[in-house]
Amino acid sequence: MIHSFLMIGQSNMAGRGFLQEVSPIHDEKIKMLRNGRWQTMSEPINCDRSTSGISLAASFASSWRLFHNQEDDIALIPCADGGTSLDDWSIEGPLFHNAVFQAKAAQKISTLSGILWHQGENDSNGKKHQSYIEKFALLIKTLREELHVPHIPLIVGGLGDFLQYGMYGQYFNEHHEVSKVLLEFAQNHDNCYFASAEALTANPDNIHFDAVSQRKFGIRYFKAFQQKAHILGTVKDEDKIIEQINNRPLTKNEKSELLQYQFAMGTISADEFQNQFAEINKGS
């Protein structure tokens, strides 16, 4: 069985963590949607911009795998788009249409099991938070209706505490208010859970969660999903869970895929490929 999760929101859902700052996640039972079909997940998952990087979705999926039976697959549907406001996600707009199309494509080949939302930086000024709940409720209601999943869990996350400190800080002067309405929304809507961004840190731009923080955030999103509860601060064992994820031994398939990648990228020769491939598959 494949359980799929829709990723929607703006850049911090798409992910801007630097790839080189964390251990890569290779797990053949984590998939991502590409052109209507599943592929083995690799980061960046959500290629909306040239700056795409580590998002919370990979560690969300990895922690789901740790706490779920080992037969099932988890799959990610990347539809987040950098720099988008809540109004950009209007149900008449292209982002919403695209997300519905992609989720429906995924529903043909999986069970849609959750919606992951992170957005709000672009609504962090000009009192936009005052209409956030109403607009967001319509978006989620319509999305659930269109996809025929009235009770599907929705996980939303708080905004980074660092937002006011950067070069663009003036544009985010109401980020606390946006985090507050996201929590309020979760508290007042069925099947909606909040994940705190407490103590998470940023890239040098002070806009985007760094890669290490995205890994932690993914675990908090997962805990909210698993426990059907709001996660109001750091998760005690998040570092330990990341360690567990990083220490997972690779399967033969995963080793072979990595080898194929290296060969395709020209970093190992055909001979090296064949030798290492034989080594991996020895005795099988």
Q: Which residues bind a copy of itself (CB under 8 A)?
A: 16, 18, 34-37, 39, 42, 44, 47-51, 79, 81, 93-95, 97-99, 101, 105, 108-109, 166-167, 203-205, 208, 261, 263-266, 269-270, 273-274
Q: Rounded to the nearest whole angstrom, what is the least distance from the CB of residue 193 to a copy of itself in the complex? A: 25
Nearer to a copy of itself, 188 or 274 (CB): 274
Residue 151's SS3 state is coil
Nearer to a copy of itself, 200 or 235 (CB): 200
Residue listed under structure tokens 């809540």: 86
What is the spatial order of strands in the sheet that 30-34 belongs to? Answer: 37-40, 30-34, 73-78, 2-9, 111-118, 154-157, 192-195
Which is it for the CA torsion 25, 31, 58, 80, positive or negative? positive
Q: Rounded to the nearest whole angstrom, what is the least distance from the CB of residue 227 to a copy of itself in the complex? A: 31
- The one-letter amino acid code at 113 reads S
Residue 39's SS3 state is strand
What tokens appear for 21 in the block?
A: 């700052």
155 and 193 in contact (C-beta within 8 Å)? yes
Nearer to a copy of itself, 52 or 113 (CB): 52
Q: Rounded to the nearest whole angstrom, what is the least distance from the CB of residue 190 to a copy of itself in the complex? A: 28
Residue 218's SS3 state is helix
Nearer to a copy of itself, 93 or 233 (CB): 93
- The one-letter amino acid code at 257 reads E
41 backbone φψ class: left, alpha, beta (φ>0; ψ -120 to 50)? beta
Nearer to a copy of itself, 153 or 166 (CB): 166
Q: Rounded to the nearest whole angstrom, what is the least distance from the CB of residue 238 to a copy of itself in the complex? A: 24
Residue 62's SS3 state is helix
Nearer to a copy of itself, 36 or 233 (CB): 36
What distance in Å separates the CA atoms of residue 22 and residue 180, rounded to the nearest whole number? Answer: 30
Q: Rounded to the nearest whole angstrom, what is the least distance from the CB of residue 240 to a copy of itself in the complex? A: 28
Q: Rounded to the nearest whole angstrom, what is the least distance from the CB of residue 279 to a copy of itself in the complex? A: 16
